[in-house]
Amino acid sequence: MGVSAITQHQDKKKHKEIEEEKMKNETMRSFVRNKAVLGTIDMQVAAAEGTWAYHVAKHHQSFASTDCASSLFKVLFPASDVAKKYGCAQDKTAAIIKGVNSIVAKRDFNY
């Protein structure tokens, strides 16, 4: 068991299907604005969305539970410019979580 076992495992049909599915789905780039045009408020919104995604993952909440967060934050914090621009429902939350996890996995496991 070693490199050969891992190689054989990742060549299985299920992994091939997952890779094909990844190619069909939207990437993080479709949810993230160009850094060159981000202002301070945009960075604060991005930080809030990333923090919320982390909270969802940490507490094992469903992605569907994030759909009402934007509306809720606008009601709870009506004077907040961040809350006004916040928009992180289930698709974006999932993309943030999956994107961050894949970056960490690549870094930590040389994947």
Give DSSP secondary structure letters for 22-59. Answer: HHHSPPGGGTS--GGG--HHHHHHHHHHHHHHHHHHHT
Interior CA angle at 60 toward 27 and 67, to 5°? Answer: 60
Rounded Cα gap, residues 103 and 49, in angstroms: 17
Structure confidence at residue 76 (pLDDT): 95
Tokens of 78: 């009506």
**Residue 85 buriedness (CB in 10 A; 0-12 / 13-18 / 19+):** middle
Structure confidence at residue 28 (pLDDT): 60
Q: What's the pLDDT tens digit per position in 9-58?
A: 778 888 788 777 777 766 666 666 565 555 789 889 988 998 898 888 88
Tokens of 61: 């909440």
Structure confidence at residue 109 (pLDDT): 67
Domain ranges of the chain: 30-109
Give residue 88's identity as a one-letter amino acid code.
C
Structure confidence at residue 84 (pLDDT): 94
